[in-house]
Amino acid sequence: MRFRRLFDNVSAGFLALLVHVVFLGLLLFSFSWSSNPTEPGAEAEPIKAIVVDERAIESELKRLQEKDESERREEQERLEQLEQETEKARTKRELEEERLAEIQQQLKEEKRLHEQADEDRRKEEAQRLALIKKQQEEEAKRLVDLEVARKEEAEKKRVAEEERKRIEEQTRVAEEERKRIEEQKRIAEEERKRIEEQKRIAEEERKRIEEQKRIAEEERKRIEEQRRLAEEERKRIEEQRRLAEEEERKRQEVEFALQRELEEEQAILDNVRRGRAQSQWVAQIADKVERNWIRPASAPQGLQVELRVEQIPGGEVVKTEIVQSSGHVAFDRSVENAVLQASPLPQPTDPSVFVRKIKFTFDPED
């Protein structure tokens, strides 16, 4: 309030000074003086004067007064708004101090209940509270600075907003700390109840174990008797199992021997069947080769040649090779040509006997 009265006095003085300066300026621009004095005997020149319009001066003064009044009202409103913001910040700070006082009281109560177990935590809490107190002192100083430096409104608002966020963060941290302490108290209480329950259970367990020892001793004697009887029964069962296993082994050996004989007989039958089918197939190939064979004029009677023929599925001949020559080059060559002419070779009636490479003896007199 003292600052506002001082500001009003300064504004009134400044307004009065401004009015006098304006009035003097109008007079200076309204009159004109001669720089030379009037010579004796000379006619004095009439003084030229300009009539001053008092109504214009009054109008200008009124306009200046209204403008100054408007600026003064605006400045006063802005100052009142700053005072309201300052009051809000002070009220909020007082609420924060009350909350911090409550937190300190809770921490003292927790300190009494957990003095030995929470020594380290109390030290940390004391340091944190000291830091908060220091920050509150800094806040008070900043508020005083805000009271003095009202013209720096924009910067002060930014600082105040940052400080508000910092205080809210401190409040949030303090609330989280309070909840953590309450949770620790709850856990400690549950742990105490759990330990008491464990003691009770342990006592009941001790009595139950003693009873079980007595029953176990009686049971041990009974089990030893049963074990003796069971051992005799086990030996009797093992003897019976040994005899049964011996009987089963003999039966499996007989079955295995019969199965092996059947498989050997089936293999012989399959080989006979395959050999017969393959012989028929080779005979068909030799017959077709012989039909395509042209005897060379120089080849004598009684010649034969053994060949190996490679084919692909479908009977197409891809390669021929002389395994055992007849001793007559032209005869051997004519047989190879006949094999190529007979391509594709006949296919076996049983596809399972097909092989890519077959070997047969070509004897035209056979």
In this model, does residue 352 exceed pLDDT 60? Answer: yes
Q: Are 320 and 342 in contact (CB under 8 A)?
A: no
φ, ψ (nearest 5 deg) of residue 151: -65, -20
pLDDT band for 206, please (50, 70, 90 cuts): confident
Looking at residue 3, what is its pLDDT? Answer: 46
Domain ranges of the chain: 2-27+52-151, 279-362
pLDDT tens digits, one per residue of 222-262: 888 888 888 988 999 999 899 988 888 888 888 787 777 76
pLDDT tens digits, one per residue of 152-205: 888 888 988 988 899 889 889 889 988 998 898 898 788 888 888 988 888 888
Q: At 249, which amino acid appears?
A: R
Q: Are 278 and 354 in contact (CB under 8 A)?
A: no
The CATH number of domain 279-362 is 3.40.50.720: no
In this model, does residue 38 exceed pLDDT 50? Answer: no
Average pLDDT over residues 305-329: 92
Q: Which pair of tokens denotes residue 82?
A: 């700053």
289: nearest Cα among 303, 275, 307 = 307
Q: Which pair of tokens denotes residue 40?
A: 């004796």
Looking at residue 71, what is its pLDDT? Answer: 86
DSSP character string of 265-319:
HHHHHHHHHHHHHHHHHHHHHHHHHHHT----TTPPTT--EEEEEEE-TTS-EEE
First to last CA, the chain: 145
Output Rg (C-alpha) for the chain, integer angstroms. 64
pLDDT band for 218, please (50, 70, 90 cuts): confident
Q: Are 277 and 350 in contact (CB under 8 A)?
A: yes
Percent of residues, the chain, with pLDDT higher than 70: 83
